[in-house]
Chains A and B, each alone.
Chain A
């Protein structure tokens, strides 16, 4: 097999790479990063504990990072690594997809663990939205792995030089502008406690009940998909589930949420899950640590009161 023992990471102009570097280091002594995007990103990756940085050059004005996917794929294929790690976010998926297409290898998602198994790489993944887990050995070529990116801890290691590689990005799409959001972005992923509400809420005005509880418990507000899409009561960034955020708070309180798989996959790794639902047969009661069967309109105010400091 003409595959090196190296692990490569692919970076789509996102300098927050320490999670990928840590995962790559666990697989091999040598880690090479391929960086598409600005030089500043490449410089930042070069100081994040990798051994080598291949940079595809400064993008022309308006070139989206996704335009570099074919170049990223060719560069990775030339290096013939044993494993390729990339971010599971939007642009990361484009890079991994191009690599997968060139190497005719699957992109592995929902990854729980990756390790060497003798001569091969074993990958444990959650499949079908998390209803089951599988462990497979990857044979015949590289393991292409999508992981939650981001930074875990500070980058370590001396900065390595940035090596520029000639690239020929696609020219079929051009960025023409960005309308900034007015509000500061929500960081649900970093919240210790999250209070989420679903279809059990009858009117937008009743959200005050839920925000009252969130304040009393010191948590961020979140929701299931029906409240973020369709009725638009809660901003989309606060949507938890397959179509939204996947989070792992220490405490997750789900109010008026039935517990559909598509929602629960977003909180599978939460520490403690609490549910409040009027339907005692709701699926969520099989997937929670503590559940109160009752009307949220009476239970939530009682919870808020019980959490208030004693006079």
Chain B
């Protein structure tokens, strides 16, 4: 059996340059394994150690996601191999398009019974791709998964639900999005990083994949920098805490929020 870790190589919007016209320029932001994804790698590795499953990393995006640094960063996190679709036609692709490409890759791998993902990407921050992938595959999709373990003929999982922790058994393929603290992710050591260079990487051409074409498209009308950036920014020196506190409390009372 094979476990797929669907992850993203992405920059942090914190480091993007946002123009006054709302344009977002990521060219000076460094990409990394998306902040919420290491937990998916770790869960996959832990399950695989118990079952002997192969762990395959899958990532799709524009051409910039396939660098030697990006490959090593993923392969050093416990993958057995990596499959990449890196094509500039996927630049800025929406969640449904990314999920469609991921689904085509997962189908191509063949004997996958579990796809693990983080709860959101660090750049787009929508938390949607994994569940749309479940839709594409026709598999059960579950969010907020806090633990996964192998059982006879399937998996036992736990999920955070509003009333507490729900336990479930899975007897068929599923796409699971893990909570950010489901497991503590190991930081790759020197041995992992050196070993990463020897692991196989398969680069698939987008043209070779059976990806259904988008029916609904978005036509950009306008963009802007959010108004929330325009806060008052009254900065008070706190070297005299009592005076600073009095000034702040006075201002908050005047603003009628106290």
A residues bordering B, Cβ < 8 Å? 64, 66-67, 69-70, 73, 88, 90-91, 93-94, 96-107, 109-110, 117, 122-123, 126-144, 146, 170-181, 185, 193, 217, 225, 228-230, 236, 242-243, 250-251, 260-262, 265, 268-269, 271-274, 276, 280, 283, 285-295, 298-299, 301-303, 305-307
Interface magnitude class on chain B: 35 or more
Q: Is B161 an interface residue (CB 8 A)?
A: yes
**Chain A residue at minimum C-beta to C-beta distance from B129:** A97
| Residues of chain B lying within 8 A (CB to CB) of residue A143 | 216
Count A-B contacts at CB 8 Å.
321
Known contacts A105-B214, A128-B16, A170-B172; A289 and B233 CB within 8 A of each other? yes
Q: Are A132 and B226 in contact (CB under 8 A)?
A: yes
**Chain A residue at minimum C-beta to C-beta distance from B14:** A261
Q: Is B79 an interface residue (CB 8 A)?
A: no
Q: Are B133 and A97 in contact (CB under 8 A)?
A: yes
Please, how many angstroms separate the alpha-carbon atoms of A134 and B161 in the complex? Answer: 32
The CB with the most chain B CB atoms within 10 A, among A104, A126, A146, is that of: A104
Contact flags (1/0) for B123-141 with A, using CB distance below 8 Å?
A: 1111110111111101111
14 contacts between A and B (CB under 8 A): A90-B143, A104-B216, A106-B96, A132-B18, A140-B215, A142-B216, A144-B216, A174-B169, A179-B167, A262-B14, A274-B252, A283-B14, A285-B233, A294-B244
User: A139-B219, A173-B142, A177-B167 given. 15 additional CB < 8 A pairs?
Assistant: A96-B131, A98-B135, A100-B96, A109-B126, A127-B124, A139-B216, A140-B215, A142-B216, A143-B216, A173-B168, A178-B161, A290-B232, A293-B238, A298-B238, A306-B242
Q: Are B216 and A140 in contact (CB under 8 A)?
A: yes
Please, how many angstroms separate the alpha-carbon atoms of A127 and B130 in the complex? Answer: 18
| Set A103, A291, A302: member contacting B234, Cβ < 8 A | A291
| Set B14, B22, B133: member contacting A133, Cβ < 8 A | B22
**Chain B residue at minimum C-beta to C-beta distance from A297:** B241
Q: Are B134 and A98 in contact (CB under 8 A)?
A: yes
* Cβ of A53 to closest chain B Cβ, rounded Å: 23
| Residues of chain A lying within 8 A (CB to CB) of residue B212 | 104
Q: Of the listed stretches B47-55, B80-88, B173-181, B197-205, name the one at the interface; the rest are far from the partner chain.
A: B173-181
Please, how many angstroms separate the alpha-carbon atoms of A289 and B242 in the complex? Answer: 19
For chain B residues 135-167, which have a beta carbon within 8 Å of chain A?
Answer: 135-136, 138-144, 160-167
Q: Are B140 and A173 in contact (CB under 8 A)?
A: yes
Q: Is B46 an interface residue (CB 8 A)?
A: no
From DSSP, what is the main secondary structure of chain A's interface residues? mixed
Q: Are B233 and A288 in contact (CB under 8 A)?
A: yes
| Residues of chain A lying within 8 A (CB to CB) of residue B173 | 172
| Residues of chain A lying within 8 A (CB to CB) of residue B120 | 242-243
**Chain A residue at minimum C-beta to C-beta distance from B125:** A129
Q: Is B27 an interface residue (CB 8 A)?
A: no
| Residues of chain B lying within 8 A (CB to CB) of residue A103 | 215-216
* Cβ of B37 to closest chain A Cβ, rounded Å: 12
| Set A66, A122, A229, A261: member contacting B221, Cβ < 8 A | A122
Q: Are A140 and B132 in contact (CB under 8 A)?
A: no
Closest 3 CB pairs of A and B: A294-B238, A172-B172, A101-B135
Q: Are B248 and A274 in contact (CB under 8 A)?
A: yes
| Residues of chain B lying within 8 A (CB to CB) of residue A131 | 13, 16, 18, 24, 225-226
B residues bordering A, Cβ < 8 Å? 12-14, 16, 18, 22-24, 35-36, 94-97, 99-100, 103, 119-120, 122-128, 130-136, 138-144, 160-174, 180-181, 212-226, 228-229, 231-239, 241-242, 244-246, 248-249, 251-252, 255, 257-258
| Set A139, A230, A286, A294: member contacting B181, Cβ < 8 A | A230
Known contacts A106-B96, A251-B257, A302-B242; A243 and B36 CB within 8 A of each other? yes
* Cβ of B256 to closest chain A Cβ, rounded Å: 9
**Chain A residue at minimum C-beta to C-beta distance from B11:** A128
Q: Are B100 and A104 in contact (CB under 8 A)?
A: yes
| Residues of chain A lying within 8 A (CB to CB) of residue B95 | 100, 106-107
Q: Are A271 and B257 in contact (CB under 8 A)?
A: yes
**Chain B residue at minimum C-beta to C-beta distance from A185:** B162
Q: Are A104 and B96 in contact (CB under 8 A)?
A: yes
| Residues of chain B lying within 8 A (CB to CB) of residue A228 | 181
Q: Are A135 and B172 in contact (CB under 8 A)?
A: no
* Cβ of A144 to closest chain B Cβ, rounded Å: 8
Q: Are B140 and A67 in contact (CB under 8 A)?
A: yes
| Residues of chain A lying within 8 A (CB to CB) of residue B224 | 132-134
The CB with the most chain A CB atoms within 10 A, among B135, B173, B223, B234, is that of: B135
Q: Are A290 and B236 in contact (CB under 8 A)?
A: yes
Q: Are B96 and A171 in contact (CB under 8 A)?
A: no
* Cβ of B242 to closest chain A Cβ, rounded Å: 5
| Residues of chain A lying within 8 A (CB to CB) of residue B124 | 127-129
Q: Are B169 and A176 in contact (CB under 8 A)?
A: yes
